[in-house]
C-alpha cells in the first residue's frame, strides 16, 4: 500500500473559513439634481467597462485566482487548476476545476462559470514570481505553517517530486462511487486503468470489490458473485462487528481493487501494485445480507522499522462512529500478540495524526491515572505496545514530562490528567481481545 498512514475520523462538513464581501452600494447623502444625469452616465460607463473587463478575462487561464460561490452560500478564494469545455450546455462554455485555497485538496471540484465572481479575478502570475512575492510578505512563522500545509502527507518528497505528484493527481478522475447502499463523493485522484478514464461514477461490488462502469453490469455481477464477506480468514467477531485478514499474495485482485478504492480517499504519493508484501485487515458491519466493509488497515508482513500499520481508512459513510480508533486499537492488539512494540508508517496524514494523537493520549492517560504517575516510559511501552518515541512525543505535547538530571520524569497531577482526558474526547469502540482468533504471520507456516 502507499506510504501515508491515514485515518479518516472527521467528516468534511466544515466550509472554507473566510467570506468574500462584495462592495456595498452608497446609500448615504442625497444627490443634487444637476449631477444626477452625470452620475447615471458614469454608472453606465462603469457597468460597460466592468462587462468588457469580465468578457476580456474569459476563458479563465489555469492558475487564475478568483472568488467562488461554495455550497454554504458564501464566496471563497479559489485557484483554477484545470478547465474543460462543457459541450452539454449548448454554448461550449468552459467549466473549471478549482482548489479552495484555505482548505485540503479533498474539497477540490468542477464548478460552472456562474459560481465565479469575475470582478474578483486576479490574473495568473508566474508561479516562481508569485512564490517570491508571497514569501517577502510573510513572517517566518506564517511561511512555516504554509510549508507544513503544502507538503501535508508528503514530507518524504522533495519539491520537484511534490510538484510532479500534484500535477499528476491534480484532478479527481472519478467523482462518485456506489458501494453497497451508499453513493459516496470521492476526495482524491486514483490511478484506475485507462479504460476508466471517461467514467464520472464507478460501481463497486461491496464483497469482492470488482468495479464496473454501469449499474446494469453491477446488477449482473451481483447475481453471480457468491461472496458475502471479504476473502480470507475471519479473525474477530463481536456482536455485529467482524474483522477479516486478507493476504495480498493469496487474494491479489481483491487487494489491488481495495488499493484503487482506498486511493480515492487517501492523498498518497504511491499506490503499490505489489500487494504480495501486505496483509489487509477489513472491518465489517454484519447483518443477514452479509459483511459490509466499513474500513480497513494494511500492514507489511515483515517490517524492519517496526511499523504495525501502513494505510488506514474509514469510508466516509461510517466516519464519526469510532471505527478509526477501533482500527488503531486493533493494530496494537496484533502487536501485543506478536510480542512487539509498533508504530504507524510515516508520514501520517493530517487526519491520521489527529486520530493517533487522540488514541495515544487516552491510552496513556488512563494508565497514568491508575498508577498515579509512578511508571516509566519503558513500562508504558511494554504495557501498550506503543513505541517509546510516540509515548515521549505525546506526553511532551501534553506538557506532562520533564527532563531532570539526565532522565525523563512524568508529571501526573490528577486534575491535569482529567483535563487532558476530557479534551481528548470519547474513545473508539473497544476491542474485545477474548474474541480475537489470530496467529501472527510468521507463525502461520
CATH of the domain at 108: 2.30.30.140
Place of cell 488514541: 359
CB of 97 within 8 A of CB of 63?
no
Residue 413's pLDDT band (boundaries 50, 70, 90)? confident
Domain extent for 206 = 176-347
45-74 in b/e form (b: 16+ CB < 10 A) is eeeeeeeeeeeebeebeeebbbbbbbeeeb
pLDDT of residue 443: 79
Separation between Cα atoms, residue 423 and residue 216, nearest integer Å: 49
| Residue 27, pLDDT above cutoff 60 | no
| Residue 437, pLDDT above cutoff 90 | yes
Do 312 and 181 share a domain, yes or no?
Answer: yes
Do 211 and 84 share a domain, yes or no?
Answer: no
Separation between Cα atoms, residue 68 and residue 113, nearest integer Å: 9
Q: What is the reported pTM? A: 0.73
CB of 296 within 8 A of CB of 313?
yes
Q: Average pLDDT, stretch 309-320?
A: 94
| Residue 5, pLDDT above cutoff 80 | no
CB of 279 within 8 A of CB of 315?
no
Separation between Cα atoms, residue 275 and residue 252, nearest integer Å: 7
| Residue 137, pLDDT above cutoff 60 | no
User: Quick check: helix, strand or coil at residue 363?
Assistant: helix
Count of domains observed in the chain: 3
Do 288 and 231 share a domain, yes or no?
Answer: yes
> Dmax of the chain from CA atoms?
98
Classify residue 47: in a domain, yes or no.
no
- Greater confidence, 44 or 239? 239
Do 195 and 287 share a domain, yes or no?
Answer: yes
| Residue 357, pLDDT above cutoff 60 | yes
CB of 109 within 8 A of CB of 97?
yes
Domain boundary among 347, 374, 405: 347
φ and ψ at 168, to 5 degrees? Answer: -70, -35
Separation between Cα atoms, residue 391 and residue 361, nearest integer Å: 9
Do 308 and 222 share a domain, yes or no?
Answer: yes
Do 191 and 306 share a domain, yes or no?
Answer: yes
Separation between Cα atoms, residue 265 and residue 105, nearest integer Å: 11
pLDDT of residue 283: 98
CB of 244 within 8 A of CB of 284?
yes
CB of 6 within 8 A of CB of 153?
yes
Do 293 and 364 share a domain, yes or no?
Answer: no
User: Quick check: helix, strand or coil at residue 112?
Assistant: coil
Do 307 and 182 share a domain, yes or no?
Answer: yes
CATH number at residue 417: 1.10.10.10
93, 285, 345, 379: the catalytic one is 345
Do 185 and 249 share a domain, yes or no?
Answer: yes
Do 292 and 193 share a domain, yes or no?
Answer: yes
Residue 355's pLDDT band (boundaries 50, 70, 90)? confident
pLDDT in tens, 208-254: 999 999 999 999 999 999 999 999 999 999 999 999 999 999 999 99
Q: Average pLDDT, stretch 256-273?
A: 81
| Residue 430, pLDDT above cutoff 70 | yes
Say if residue 84 is exposed, middle or buried (CB neighbours under 10 Å; 0-12, 13-18, 19+): exposed
Classify residue 289: in a domain, yes or no.
yes
Is 345 labeled as catalytic in the residue annotation?
A: yes
pLDDT in tens, 186-202: 999 999 999 998 898 99
Do 181 and 246 share a domain, yes or no?
Answer: yes
Amino acid at each position: 500500500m502507499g506510504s501515508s498512514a491515514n485515518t479518516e475520523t472527521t467528516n468534511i462538513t466544515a466550509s472554507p473559513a473566510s467570506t468574500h464581501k462584495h462592495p456595498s452600494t452608497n446609500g448615504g447623502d442625497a444627490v443634487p439634481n444637476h449631477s444626477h444625469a452625470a452620475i447615471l452616465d458614469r454608472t453606465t460607463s462603469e457597468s460597460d467597462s466592468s462587462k468588457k473587463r469580465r468578457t476580456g478575462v474569459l476563458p479563465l487561464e489555469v492558475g487564475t485566482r478568483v472568488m467562488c460561490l461554495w455550497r454554504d452560500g458564501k464566496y471563497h478564494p479559489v485557484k483554477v487548476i484545470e478547465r474543460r469545455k462543457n459541450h452539454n450546455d449548448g454554448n461550449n462554455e468552459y467549466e473549471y476545476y478549482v482548489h479552495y485555497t484555505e482548505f485540503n485538496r479533498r474539497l477540490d471540484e468542477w464548478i460552472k462559470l456562474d459560481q465565479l465572481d469575475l470582478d474578483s479575478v486576479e490574473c495568473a502570475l508566474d508561479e516562481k514570481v508569485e512564490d517570491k512575492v508571497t514569501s517577502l510578505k510573510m513572517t517566518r512563522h506564517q511561511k512555516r505553517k504554509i510549508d507544513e500545509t503544502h507538503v501535508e502527507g508528503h514530507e518524504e518528497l522533495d519539491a520537484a517530486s511534490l510538484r510532479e505528484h500534484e500535477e499528476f493527481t491534480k484532478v479527481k478522475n472519478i467523482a462518485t462511487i456506489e458501494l453497497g447502499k451508499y453513493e459516496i463523493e470521492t476526495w482524491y485522484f486514483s490511478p484506475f486503468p485507462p479504460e476508466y478514464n471517461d467514467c464520472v461514477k464507478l460501481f463497486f461490488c461491496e464483497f469482492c470489490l470488482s468495479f464496473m462502469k454501469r449499474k446494469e453490469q453491477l446488477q449482473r455481477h451481483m447475481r453471480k458473485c457468491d461472496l458475502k464477506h471479504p476473502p480470507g480468514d475471519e479473525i474477530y467477531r463481536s456482536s455485529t462487528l467482524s474483522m477479516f485478514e486478507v493476504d495480498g499474495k493469496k487474494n491479489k485482485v481483491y487487494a489491488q481493487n481495495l488499493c484503487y478504492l482506498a486511493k480515492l480517499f487517501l492523498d498518497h504519493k504511491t499506490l503499490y501494485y505489489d500487494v504480495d508484501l501486505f496483509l489487509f485487515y477489513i472491518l465489517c458491519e454484519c447483518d443477514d445480507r452479509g459483511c459490509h466493509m466499513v474500513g480497513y488497515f494494511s500492514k507489511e508482513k515483515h517490517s524492519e522499522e517496526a511499523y504495525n500499520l501502513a494505510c488506514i481508512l474509514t469510508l466516509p459513510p461510517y466516519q464519526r462512529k469510532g471505527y478509526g480508533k477501533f482500527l488503531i486499537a486493533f493494530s496494537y492488539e496484533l502487536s501485543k500478540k506478536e510480542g512487539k512494540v509498533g508504530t504507524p508508517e510515516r508520514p501520517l496524514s493530517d487526519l491520521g495524526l489527529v486520530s493517533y494523537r487522540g488514541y495515544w493520549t487516552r491510552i496513556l492517560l488512563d494508565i497514568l491515572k491508575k498508577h498515579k504517575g509512578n511508571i516509566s516510559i519503558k513500562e508504558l511501552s511494554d504495557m501498550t505496545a506503543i513505541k517509546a518515541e510516540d509515548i515521549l512525543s505525546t506526553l511532551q505535547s501534553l506538557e506532562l514530562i520533564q527532563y531532570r538530571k539526565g532522565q525523563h520524569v512524568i508529571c501526573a497531577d490528577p486534575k491535569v490528567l482529567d483535563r487532558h482526558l476530557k479534551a481528548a474526547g470519547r474513545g473508539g469502540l473497544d476491542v474485545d481481545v477474548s474474541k480475537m482468533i489470530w496467529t501472527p504471520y510468521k507463525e502461520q507456516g
